[in-house]
């Protein structure tokens, strides 16, 4: 089932608001622990057990761990875990918007992010981000082919946890290879 134009507009508006909220925050001190450096291309989804990976990696409190946990939760459609891992510097959307609203948004996102497996093909620090942000490029492997280099941006929250702040859903919907 493909998302309709209204869903795309709603998601785009909401994600733009999240990004704006993260950018407009003030008083956030720079927090860049040694483990926030982007790793080399590496993990594949097949290297990780499904939901156990989401819970284990999120405890590592690394940018990569948050993105990989988010991917594992998305594949398993665990909306609660997705909502805890998606957010801004202020924290998760579940904490900000409540369980119900977060689950509705994560359901919409999960309906777009359908894949069999993934592979991290690269990462880089995002220039100009106070407090640290890392962009990961992920190949999403689907039954219909691979969507190459989908950007996922992770940001370090004020609680010193990493959150997935951005996912290029337009690229995923276009299904470009």
pLDDT in tens, 9-32: 344 444 444 444 443 222 222 333
Question: What pTM value is reported for the model?
Answer: 0.69
Which residues, listed in sequence order, are joined to residue 166 by a DSSP beta bridge?
Answer: 153
CA-to-CA distance for 21 and 26, rounded, in angstroms? 10
CB 48 within 8 A of CB 60: no
What tens digit of pLDDT does each residue of 97-143 get?
A: 998 999 999 999 999 999 999 999 999 999 888 778 999 999 999 98
Q: Which two tokens stand for residue 160?
A: 């010193």
Report residue 38's pLDDT band, with 50, 70 and 90 as the boundaries. Answer: very low
More confident residue, 153 or 60: 153
Write the pLDDT tens digit of every residue in 49-67: 455 554 544 444 799 999 9
| Structure confidence at residue 46 as a pLDDT band (50, 70, 90) | low
- Structure tokens, 52: 């156990």
**DSSP assigned state of 34:** G
- State how far the Cα of 142 lies from the Cα of 90, in Å rounded to an integer: 33
- In order of their start, the domains of the chain are 5-174 (3.10.450)
Q: Using CB atoms within 10 A of its CB, is residue 126 exposed (0-12), middle (13-18) or buried (19+)?
A: middle
Question: What is the per-residue pLDDT for 173?
Answer: 93
């Amino acid at each position: 089932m493909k998302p309709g134009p209204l869903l795309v507009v709603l998601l785009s508006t909401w994600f733009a608001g999240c990004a704006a909220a993260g950018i407009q925050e003030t008083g956030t001190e720079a927090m860049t622990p040694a483990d926030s450096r982007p790793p080399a291309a590496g993990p594949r989804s097949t290297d990780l057990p499904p939901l156990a990976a989401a819970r284990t990696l999120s405890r590592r409190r690394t940018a990569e761990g948050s993105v990989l946990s988010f991917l594992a939760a998305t594949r398993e459609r665990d909306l609660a875990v997705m909502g805890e891992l998606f957010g801004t510097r202020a924290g998760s959307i579940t904490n900000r918007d409540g369980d119900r609203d977060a689950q509705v948004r994560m359901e919409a996102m999960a309906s777009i992010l359908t894949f069999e497996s993934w592979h991290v093909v690269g990462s880089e620090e995002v220039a100009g981000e106070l407090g640290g942000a890392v962009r990961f490029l992920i190949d999403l492997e689907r039954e219909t082919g691979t969507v190459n280099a989908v950007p996922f941006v992770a940001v370090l929250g004020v609680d010193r946890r990493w959150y997935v702040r951005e996912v290029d859903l337009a690229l995923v919907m276009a299904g470009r290879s």
